[in-house]
A = this chain, B = another copy of it.
């Protein structure tokens, strides 16, 4: 669509650093601090994570035991088998930005770490090794029983977890590394399994993230270890169109790639990010969740909705890291629409997608 399509400028190194500088930060990984500021730094964080030893049996408070919760009367046990695994992940599979009609040259494939849904007993893959992980569903009164396996290869020797938002859990199922206070579910080493039990309580209604909260949680979350939880009131019908959309960046220190990508669900640029389709009259629920160090806002062209946090109508609410905003409406406006983060520099670097309404 342009007279003179040019490749992306290969920025001189100094300018690359300048433009990408916002992605630099320090990680605390067990006993070490690692700077994630340059390509290649992920390997240093992984090496630090490999040095984190399994915590000893913890002190008095942590010897407290907890009962594994069961469903409320009328509720169910909803079981999932999920493994953590690596995946060759391509951020721009089409090598094209379908919004601007633009080629996106250059490499965009890296080794992601993701949650993959498996059949019962981890017998076989049930879903792809993809970003985000599977969306977990439950109704109020149910418990989620999530069997988690760390299936990382030997080359990535580090403990992982699943930490959920929104649902209720006792400390046994928090899925967090806490140094000497760590419980079993907070340090699942390669080859190990752990079963988390989470309760869908009335205040859990909505969409929430889950993510790694092990010793190397920041790097792991930033390279793909996240997914969504959707909790519905008992018996409430599922919207015809429902999608969890993670807004996040994939940065050079994390990916080893040359450029920073602004992503939705691990993909950059329209045609690669999720293309959402709906029909007039359908109930639509889009849950946008922040999943990096930045703040975002979430705009859908041609639509407004009641702010999920109360008050009036919005078409562009702010969301922070691991915060959810939900756009919910009955579709009434056919056409090809853009949805995107309205931080201009995120939008222009790929955080945009198509919403197509018949």
Contacts and interface: CB of A to CB of B under 8 A. Distances in A.
Given A25-B344, A171-B337, A318-B320, A30 B1 contact: yes
Contact of A37 (B19, B203, B309, B315): B19
Contacts of A4: 31, 51
Interface in A5-31: 5-6, 8-9, 11, 15, 17-19, 21-22, 24-31
A319 B316 CA distance: 10
Interface string A218-229: 100110000000
B313 A203 contact: yes
A218 B344 contact: yes
B11 A35 contact: yes
Interface string A316-349: 1111111100000000011111100011110111
Contact of A62 (B30, B317, B336): B336
A119 interface: no
B9 A33 contact: yes
A339 to B, nearest CB: 12
B218 A171 contact: no
Interface in A187-232: 201, 203-206, 208, 215, 217-218, 221-222
A206 B19 contact: no
Given A19-B37, A304-B166, A313-B205, A322 B293 contact: no
B297 A321 contact: yes
Nearest to A307: B309
Q: How many copies does the complex hold?
A: 3
Nearest to A312: B206
Interface stretch (A109-117, A144-152, A176-184): A176-184
Interface stretch (A70-78, A87-95, A96-104, A120-128): A96-104
Given A1-B53, A218-B345, A309-B309, A336 B25 contact: no
A32 B102 contact: yes
A276 interface: no
Contacts of A176: 301, 338
Size bin of chain A's contact surface: 35 or more
A101 to B, nearest CB: 3
Contacts of A62: 336
Nearest to A8: B33
Contacts of A317: 309, 320, 323
Nearest to A20: B24
A206 B345 contact: no
A108 to B, nearest CB: 14
Contact of A203 (B26, B203, B304): B304
A169 interface: yes
A345 to B, nearest CB: 3
A32 B104 CA distance: 9
| Most chain B beta carbons < 10 A, residue from A52, A101, A337 | A101
Given A8-B33, A55-B101, 8 more contacts: A30-B101, A99-B179, A101-B180, A174-B301, A181-B336, A201-B304, A203-B304, A296-B320
